[in-house]
Amino acid sequence: MKRLINDPYEVVEEMLDGYVRAHKEHVKLLEHDGRVVVSKQAPIKDKVGVIIGGGSGHEPLFLGYVGEGFADAAVIGNINTSPSPEPCYNAVKAVDSGKGCLYLYGNYAGDVMNFDMGAEMAEADGIRVETVLVTDDVVSSKNIADRRGVAGDLFVFKAAAAKADMGADLDAVKAAAEKANDNTRSMGVALSSATLPATGKPIFEMGEGDMEIGMGIHGEPGVRRGKIESADKVVDQIMEHILGDLPLASGDEVTVLVNSLGATPYIDLHICYRRVDQILEEKGVKVHRAFVGPFATSMDMAGMSITLVKLDNELKELLDYPCNTPYLVIK
């Protein structure tokens, strides 16, 4: 492992301290809970509170998307570990302005259990909290409701946050998140394991020169392991799975994300995006907006993922809605 850290058991606290120091114009840590990153604007009067969160190690997911026009708070767990219930509850107390709050996070058992407990604590105080789980990873289950949430989190969060910023009520904000989730699909490839700061060892073993198609951001098994292939061949396989699950017709519009899992550089990502765009162009599908870069990572893992969002007029408006956060600015 080659990492620039201090105490391996203090990496999350030190990262959060450094993050709010670097981006103090946007965010702060909740005074009585150092695991909750809150927008400097929150709570906003007559606005549904949008709360995102999950384990550390996926930066800029989740903390990087707290700010103007986006999430009101992010609840941060340990590396690859869900936040505990109390910070989930504290985030609600910090951002609720009387219209209730929406929890948004990837579909992982620990997150579901702890955020649900946070919601129960908030509801005991008379605050309504709803939840939408992100389920965009196409190969994680045949049953969509059982799928993992990966880089598609970004677009589900964005749609809900935009709707909330427009002044919609909690039911409408939740519906916007569900619509975005229903139209978002992702799949990735890992070329190496991430390394855990506490142990200095990889999460899983992968042979030199190997890759795994469909692996999850925590090292969950994919669909095939083999020798690293060309960018075009890898993209072709991923797009086959995504397009088989999200049928697109000529004339449809999409938003595309080619996402680095941490160690894969922009040069590789743009080579991959080139092939994604070629495939969509051949199908007559228009790319409305493209995102290329590290948006949902797995620490120092080499690899990338592709996300497609099928757009209609409402989703296009929500995803184009202005926001200003440390790691996403849309004007």
Active site residues: 58, 218
Starting at the earlier edge strand, list the strands of the sheet with 286-293. 224-227, 210-213, 184-190, 303-310, 253-260, 286-293
Query: SS3 sequence, the chain?
Result: CCCCCCCCCCHHHHHHHHHHHHCCCCEEEECCEEEEEEECCCCCCCCCEEEEEEEECCCCCCHHHECECCECEEEEEEECCCCCHHHHHHHHHHHCCCCCEEEEEECCHHHHHHHHHHHHHHHHCCCCEEEEEECCECCCCCCHHHCCCCCCHHHHHHHHHHHHHCCCCHHHHHHHHHHHHHCEEEEEEECCCCECCCCCCECCCCCCCEEEECCCCCCCCCCEEEECCCHHHHHHHHHHHHHHHCCCCCCCEEEEEEEECECCCHHHHHHHHHHHHHHHHHHCCEEEEEEEECCCCCCCECEEEEEEEECCHHHHHHHHCCEEECCEEEC
Q: How far is CA 85 from CA 49, 111, 117, 185, in A?
A: 17, 9, 6, 29
- Amino acid (one-letter) located at 73: A
